[in-house]
Structure 1
Amino acid sequence: MSINNQLSSTASNSSYPQKSEKYVANRKKYRRYNWMFFLSVFLPIVTVGIFNIVVDPYDVFNTPNFLGINHSKPRKDNNDRLFKATDVIRIKPITVLMGSSKTKQGLDTNYPALKNEQPAYNLGLNAITAYELRRYLEHSIANQQELSLAIIGLDFLMFNSFTKRRGTFAEYRLKKQYISPKDIIHVALSMNGVLASKKTIIDSNKTSLDDIPYEANGFMPVLNPDPDKTKDKFQYGINNYFNDHAKYKLSTPLIELKKIVDLCQKNQVKLIVFISPSHATQWEAIRATGEWSTFEEWKREVVKITPVFDFSGYNSITIEPIHSGMENYRDNFHYTKKVGDLVLNRILSYKEEEVPEDFGILINQENIESHLEKIRQHREVWANNNSNEVKLVEEIKQKYDGALN
């Protein structure tokens, strides 16, 4: 080897340690940068997730509630389709009380008439459709194969073909025995979850334990109503009905109700169906939209599928005059626990002597026509004696129609 080649080889070999050391240093530098990057990205996400899980603004994770921190959850009610689905997974009730917000606010699962049907859960959902009713019953059966009793409150509104399901309804969370990963992400890692947690903490600082409406069994009675706002609530509720259901098309022949009956028979679940006892002004609102004949036809279709206890119409409970000290109703739609107890008494044959004779008539295909005729007669008597409430509904309808023109 020549002297030049030896010098070149020596110089080349001497540069290897320098390059190697530089390479290692750069790798450490990049690794440290990557760790900093990942921590800066994921640490806030993990922190947000832990925060939302601990606060648990929708009561999805069954996190302990601490007075003054997270005991009051104002965003919970509008997410009832979420937290009630997870409650069913956790509680696995053998009795479910189903229906709309009327059921949710009126039927107490701890009522003595249900003492032998525990655990019971109130699965009433805001503005539920007949389709959702069937899907949540399927969810209950999927999580409790020994489900023995389903009590379902029907509403005319559920069977309006023009009614759309609420955006909070999700097929993916039903008929599962675990909380869906999508729901975990939605609650734990979303901005909506953060805002709900923030609202929970703020509200918990100023709300007493006595003012928390939701109970662990899904029951949500209206607490401490403002008596001075009673008439306003009736006006608001009647106007809402016109907004949502002035246009009505009956989903004949009530396919979803037939599926519910078949589902209960297949799974040996005792089914009790009743028509909810809204206030007399609600029936006047139906009349004002020109759908009274449709309302009657709906009942005819129902009894073709199953016998039903009818608490609607103009009876001694539903005709309570609108005033500040009402005991039976909070608005035109929602009845109180007092009325809900009477409903349970009737349908479960418990202390029936306490139930007014005209409240809750079991109807079928044999007596439906005579029953409808009695309601028409009772309506005429009520309207003659309560012209001010008839006028109230008519005036609200006129204002609604005027706003459309």
Structure 2
Amino acid sequence: MKKYNGYFYIVGVATVMLSLLTAVALFNKSVDPFGMYIKIDNGHFESISHPVYTRVRLFKAYEVERVKPQTIILGTSRSHIGYSCSHPGLAKLDGPCYNLAFDGATSREMYLYLRHAYAIKPIKHVLLGLELFHLNPGPSSTKPDFDPLVLRNPDGNLIPRWLSGDLRILTSLDTLEASQTAIKAKEWEEPLWFTPDGQRMGEVFFRQVDGRYKQLTPRGYFQMTDKEAVGYETGWQIEAKNKKPVLRAQTPLDPNETSFGYVKQIVKFCRAHQIDLRIVINPAHIHQLEISIAGSGWSSIEYKKRTLVELVDEANARFPNLPDTPIFDFNGYSEITEEPMPELGSDKEFKYYWDSSHFKKVVGNYVLDRVFGVSDPKHKTPADFGTLLKKESMDTYLADQLKRQKIYRQRSSEEVAQLHKLVHEALNGDTAIGLAESATNVSKDSL
């Protein structure tokens, strides 16, 4: 009798637990805090709950399944904000087009999201927006909200996606908490800054959502971003300098696991699957480049760009029957990137930038015009903005950049001196801690 009592007790507990999990799953699915089952009606979202904005990686993993794009944009928040699928150069390609970029995207994450999109439906075109930090030889990490279990694998998933993804997320306490947050947040609906094609609308996000942009002048917000960039540039160097040596043999780093290694894997994957890949080095404001130079040196910038060109040149040679993968460099000295700051105390916005990191859609259109050979007399792309990088012309191009650097530094000597001073103080003085902390406490709009 006791044996049967124990059996019924176990069955009873299991039934209660299963009922609770089912109730939690159904509740979470009805609220859908991360936008896993959201619908688009006539080009507009049915609804987006507040937690979607904090879990963009998860949202886009499911959104790309609904869209089933054949053209995708990969990159960080710069690509997320700056590039629109409605641009004529992208609109003429096989569709649908989807902006699969998100904040702080590492090369490893971009590679896995490329494979995810391809597993859903074979991709035909990729616009890859790179930053200089993607071309580093160090290991490529993933961000805390990255969840590989929700991504599909073109080689097949070991665990069914409905189990590793949907069921796991719907029954989690994290999702339950997000559902409660979403219900409370309906009392103050945040302005919609997502478009159905995945782009973040900068004019909505910066002017209506980011409180700091509203509190500071555009110039003040721009300079605040400069300081955050100094924190990024110096933080890793300070950490490396203060790190205690490890007294044991180190396992050699797999070249494929480096940040640059994953860029290489993206190029290899696209060439192997006959995907039209176009690479752009994104156009941050020249302040960002000057900060990188002050921290790591011009030679580091040169090395990264040369190495990328060599990588792509080798990949092109391995597939001679395919059109070459082009690389366009917009991250240099030009009329666009050297836009002067508004006068001190002015409320005037920049024409080309939201801050020193993120460019406006008008700049994104210039980039896409150059990459896809679009000519529009209404917004003619400046002649010095964007260069197609070729191995045989790299010496000439980099020498020209140094000449332009000299001219810019003479014209903006006070600005450049202040930027270099911030970097040197961060690396050598007490301001290092404060700047490093500011870099780790950046808003959801960080790179």
TM bucket (normalised to shorter chain) is 0.7 to 0.9
**TM score, norm. by length of structure 2:** 0.74
Rounded to whole Å, the distance in 2 between the matches of 1:132 and 1:90 is 20
Q: Mind listing any 5+ residue stretches in structure 1 that lack a counterpart?
A: 1-22
Q: Could you tell me which residue of structure 1 aligns to residue 361 of structure 2?
A: 337
Residue in structure 1 matching 2:406, options 365, 380, 390: 380
CA distance in 2, matches of 1:159, 1:332: 20
Q: Percent identity?
A: 25
* Equivalent residue number for residue 244 of structure 2: none
Equivalent in 16, 25, 33 of residue 57 of structure 1: 33
Q: Distance between the aligned counterparts of 2:231 and 2:111, measured in 1? A: 25
Pick from 203, 206, 218 the counterpart of residue 198 of structure 2: 218
Partner of 1:183: 165
Aligned counterparts of 2:376 and 2:283: Cα–Cα separation in 1: 17
Do the aligned residues in 1 keep the contact of 2:134 with 2:259 (CA within 8 Å)? no
Matches within 5 A, 1:94-133: 94-117=70-93, 118-133=95-110
Please say which of residues 182-191 and 334-343 is displaced more in the overlay. 182-191
Distance 1:274 1:356, change over 3 A: same
Q: Are the counterparts in 2 of residues 92 and 140 from structure 1 also a CA contact under 8 Å?
A: yes
Instruction: Extract unaligned runs of 5+ from structure 2.
Output: 208-212, 241-252, 313-325, 434-447
Looking at structure 2, the residues matched to 351 and 64 of structure 1 have their Cα atoms a distance apart, in angstroms, of 32
Give the 3 Å change call, closer, same or farther, for CA 82–199 of structure 1 in structure 2: same
Q: Secondary structure of 2:133's match? A: helix
Residue 38 of structure 1: CA displacement?
Answer: 5.7
Instruction: Tell me if the contact between 2:28 and 2:176 (Cα under 8 Å) persists in the aligned partners.
Output: yes
1:291 and 1:204 map into 2 onto residues whose CA distance is 49
Shift of 1:61: 2.3
Alpha carbons 2:221, 2:355 under 8 Å: kept? yes
**Number of corresponding residues:** 372
Deviation at 1:220, TM superposition (A): 1.1
CA 75–109 in structure 1, closer or farther in 2 if over 3 Å, else same: same
Superposed CA deviations along residues 306-335 of structure 1, whole A, max 9, x for unmatched, are 341110112111111234511322222211
What TM-score do you get using the length of structure 1 for normalisation?
0.81
Alignment-derived partner of residue 366 in structure 1:
392
Q: Which has the higher contact order (CA 8 A, sep 6+)?
A: 2
1:241 aligns with 2:241: no
Residue matched to 2:338? 319
Cα root mean square deviation, aligned? 3.2
CA distance in 2, matches of 1:253, 1:203: 37
Query: Post-superposition shift, 1:207?
Result: 2.4
Kept after mapping to 2: 8 A contact 1:186/1:193? no
Q: State whether residues 213 and 220 of structure 1, in contact with CA within 8 Å, keep that contact through their aligned partners in structure 2.
A: yes
Residue number among 343, 359, 374 corresponding to 1:350 in the alignment:
374
Quick one: which amino acid aligns to residue 217 of structure 1?
D
Contact 1:237 1:333 in 2 (8 A): no
> Which deviations, in whole Å up to 9, do the C-alpha atoms of 1:363-405 show, x marking residues without a partner?
1101111111111111121122223421342343245232358
Deviations 1:87-127 (A, max 9, x none): 22222211011111211111111223322222001111322
Q: Deviations over 1:277-301 (max 9, x none)?
A: 0111110111111332111111111
Describe the shift of the 1:53–1:395 C-alpha distance in structure 2 as closer, same or farther (beyond 3 A).
farther
Worse-superposed segment, 384-393 or 176-185: 176-185
Q: Which has the larger radius of gyration?
A: 1
1:180 and 1:243 mapped to 2: Cα distance?
A: 42
